[in-house]
C-alpha cells in the first residue's frame, strides 16, 4: 500500500476530477536512497506547488517498480517520480507505458542514463523534484523487447529506455563487480570489460528488420538503442533520438589484431570528436572501415541466436536468451521536463543535493 507524506499544501491551479489539488507519487529504492532526506525535499516542493501529500512506494526484490507504479496510477498519481538506479527508472517507465502519466527523473542513481540522454540535471535533486511539480511533459519512445529463453517456450516482455544488447556489453555488465560499482559508479564497467574480453567470441545469428528477409551474420556485440549516449561522454549511437519513432541498431565486428582498437577509434574519436565539426565529418566519410562498427535503423528487429547469450537492458543483466524480438512503441512515455528558467531564477537554485543512502 502507498504511504502518504505529511505536508501543508496550498490550493493548486490544476485540480483532480473531485476538485482537489493533484498529488504526486514517489517510487523509491530504499537501498540506494536516503528516504528521510527525500521525503523532506518532496514535502517542501509539494507544499510550494499546492499539491496534496505525495504517495510513497518502496521497491522490493519481488517488485522492482513496475507493479507499484501501476498501483500509483490506479491511486490517482498525476506524476510518478523514480528515485533509484537506472533499473528503477526502467521499471517505473514500464508501469507508466501508455498511461499518459509522466515520469519524474530524480538523479540519485549510478548512470542516470535517460536523464543524461535528455540533457537533464544530473546532480541537483531539489531541482529535479521541483521540476516534477512544475515542469512540462515531453513524449518519448519506448523500446520493447520480447525475450525467448533457452527452452524456446518461455517468453518475457520488457521495456527499455536507452539500450538493450548482447555480446560484449552484456558480458561486461554481468561481470562488473557490484561492490566496485557502488564505490566508483560507471567506472566499474572498465573492470567488467577486462573480465569479459578474454572469453568473448563472435555470435552467430539470424536477423530481420521491419519484417524483411532473414539474413545470417556474426558479431561480437549487437545493441538496439532508443538513445545514443553512455556515461563518460561516450556517444555509441550518434543519430539515435528518443522521439523519432525508430530504433537504432549497432553491430560491433572487430577483425584482426587491431580490431578492438578500430572499434574504440570509431566510438570514442569519430563519434565523440570528429562528428562535432563539418571538417571532422568529412574525415569520417573518407574512412573506408565500414565493417567494424555498422549502423542501421528500424521499427522492428528480430534475431535468433545459434547459442544462448547474456543480454542486458539499460545496464542491468537480464539473463540468457536464444531469441530476441525488439520493437518501438512510439511516444509511449511522458517525461516531466524543466520549465524554461530566467538567468535570475537559475542563479538562485543550489548546485547540488545528494541522497545516497
The string of pLDDT tens digits covering residues 186-216 is 443 444 444 444 456 788 999 999 999 999 9
Average pLDDT, the chain: 81
Query: What mean pLDDT comes out for the span 138-154?
Result: 89
pLDDT of residue 235: 80
Q: Predicted confidence band at 55 (pLDDT cuts at 50, 70, 90)?
A: very high
Q: Predicted confidence band at 19 (pLDDT cuts at 50, 70, 90)?
A: confident
pLDDT of residue 183: 46
pLDDT higher for 137 or 2? Answer: 137
pLDDT above 80 for 266: no
114: left (phi over 0), alpha (psi -120 to 50) or beta: alpha
Helix (H/G/I), strand (E/B), else coil: 87: helix
* Nearby residues of 342 by Cβ (< 8 Å), 6 or more positions away: none
The whole-angstrom separation of Cα 259 and Cα 304 is 25
Q: Predicted confidence band at 178 (pLDDT cuts at 50, 70, 90)?
A: low
* Whole-number percent of the chain with pLDDT over 90: 55
pLDDT digits (tens, 9 = 90+) for 109-141: 778 999 999 999 999 999 999 999 999 999 999
pLDDT of residue 280: 43
Cβ distance 75 to 55 under 8 Å?
yes
Q: Predicted confidence band at 268 (pLDDT cuts at 50, 70, 90)?
A: low
pLDDT higher for 203 or 323? Answer: 323
Q: Which domains does the chain have, with CATH numbers?
A: 3-135+338-347 (3.40.50.10330), 142-331 (2.60.200.40)
Hey, which bits of the chain come out as E strands? 3-4, 24-28, 55-58, 79-83, 103-105, 136-148, 155-160, 163-167, 203-209, 215-219, 221-225, 229-230, 234-235, 247-252, 293-298, 300-313, 316-337
Cβ distance 321 to 167 under 8 Å?
no
Q: In the block, which residue shows the cell 541537483?
A: 124
pLDDT digits (tens, 9 = 90+) for 297-318: 999 999 999 999 989 999 888 9
**What is each CA distance from 265 to 107, 261, 262, 293, in whole angstroms?**
30, 6, 5, 10
Long-range contacts of 114-122, Cβ-Cβ distance < 8 Å, separation of 24 or more = 114/86, 114/89, 114/161, 114/162, 114/227, 114/314, 114/335, 116/229, 116/231, 117/162, 117/227, 117/228, 117/229, 117/242, 118/242, 118/335, 118/337, 120/337, 120/338, 121/338
Query: What mean pLDDT comes out for the span 228-238?
Result: 80
pLDDT of residue 291: 66
pLDDT higher for 31 or 111? Answer: 31
pLDDT digits (tens, 9 = 90+) for 62-85: 999 999 999 999 999 999 999 999
Q: Predicted confidence band at 87 (pLDDT cuts at 50, 70, 90)?
A: very high
Q: Is the dihedral of CA 112, 68, 95, 81 positive or negative?
A: negative
pLDDT of residue 154: 77
Helix (H/G/I), strand (E/B), else coil: 147: strand
pLDDT of residue 281: 46
pTM of the model: 0.81
**What is each CA distance from 216 to 179, 208, 213, 219, 307, in whole angstroms?**
39, 9, 10, 10, 14
Task: Transcribe 23-60 into DSSP letters.
Answer: -EEEEE-TTTB-HHHHHHHHHHHHHHHTPPPPEEEE--
pLDDT digits (tens, 9 = 90+) for 7-17: 333 333 355 55
pLDDT of residue 353: 57
Pairing state of beta strands 136-148 and 155-160?
antiparallel
pLDDT higher for 223 or 177? Answer: 223
Q: Predicted confidence band at 284 (pLDDT cuts at 50, 70, 90)?
A: very low
Query: What mean pLDDT comes out for the span 264-268?
Result: 65
pLDDT above 80 for 92: yes
pLDDT of residue 220: 86
Q: In the block, which residue shows the cell 527452452?
A: 151
Amino acid at each position: 500500500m502507498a504511504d502518504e507524506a505529511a505536508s501543508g499544501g496550498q490550493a493548486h491551479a490544476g485540480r483532480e476530477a473531485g476538485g482537489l489539488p493533484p498529488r504526486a507519487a514517489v517510487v523509491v529504492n530504499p537501498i540506494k536512497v536516503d528516504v528521510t532526506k527525500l521525503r523532506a525535499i518532496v514535502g517542501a516542493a509539494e507544499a510550494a506547488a499546492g499539491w496534496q501529500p505525495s504517495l510513497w512506494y518502496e521497491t522490493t526484490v519481488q517488485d522492482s517498480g513496475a507493479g507499484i507504479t501501476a498501483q500509483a496510477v490506479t491511486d490517482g498519481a498525476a506524476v510518478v517520480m523514480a528515485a533509484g538506479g537506472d533499473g528503477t527508472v526502467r521499471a517505473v517507465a514500464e508501469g507508466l507505458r501508455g498511461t499518459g502519466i509522466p515520469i519524474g527523473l530524480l538523479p540519485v542513481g549510478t548512470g542516470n542514463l535517460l536523464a543524461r540522454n535528455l540533457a537533464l540535471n544530473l546532480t541537483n535533486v531539489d531541482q529535479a523534484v521541483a521540476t516534477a511539480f512544475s515542469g512540462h511533459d515531453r513524449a518519448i519512445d519506448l523500446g520493447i523487447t520480447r525475450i525467448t529463453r533457452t527452452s524456446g517456450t518461455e517468453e518475457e516482455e520488457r521495456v527499455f529506455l536507452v539500450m538493450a544488447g548482447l555480446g560484449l556489453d552484456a558480458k561486461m555488465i554481468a561481470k562488473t563487480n557490484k561492490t566496485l560499482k557502488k564505490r566508483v559508479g560507471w567506472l566499474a564497467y572498465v573492470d567488467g570489460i577486462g573480465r569479459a574480453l578474454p572469453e568473448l567470441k563472435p555470435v552467430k545469428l539470424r536477423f530481420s528488420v521491419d519484417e524483411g528477409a532473414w539474413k545470417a551474420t556474426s558479431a561480437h556485440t549487437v545493441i538496439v538503442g532508443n538513445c545514443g549516449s553512455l556515461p563518460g561522454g561516450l556517444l555509441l549511437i550518434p543519430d539515435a533520438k528518443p522521439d523519432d519513432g525508430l530504433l537504432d541498431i549497432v553491430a560491433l565486428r572487430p577483425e584482426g589484431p587491431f580490431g578492438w582498437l578500430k572499434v574504440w577509434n570509431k566510438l570514442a574519436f569519430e563519434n565523440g570528436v570528429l562528428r562535432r565539426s563539418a571538417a571532422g565529418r568529412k574525415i569520417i566519410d573518407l574512412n573506408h572501415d565500414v565493417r567494424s562498427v555498422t549502423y542501421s535503423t528500424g521499427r522492428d528487429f528480430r534475431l535468433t541466436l545459434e547459442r544462448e547469450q547474456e543480454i542486458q537492458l539499460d545496464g542491468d543483466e537480464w539473463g540468457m536468451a536464444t531469441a530476441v524480438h525488439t520493437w518501438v512503441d512510439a511516444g509511449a512515455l511522458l517525461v516531466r521536463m524543466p520549465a524554461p528558467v530566467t538567468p535570475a531564477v537559475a542563479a538562485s537554485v543550489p548546485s547540488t543535493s545528494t541522497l545516497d543512502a
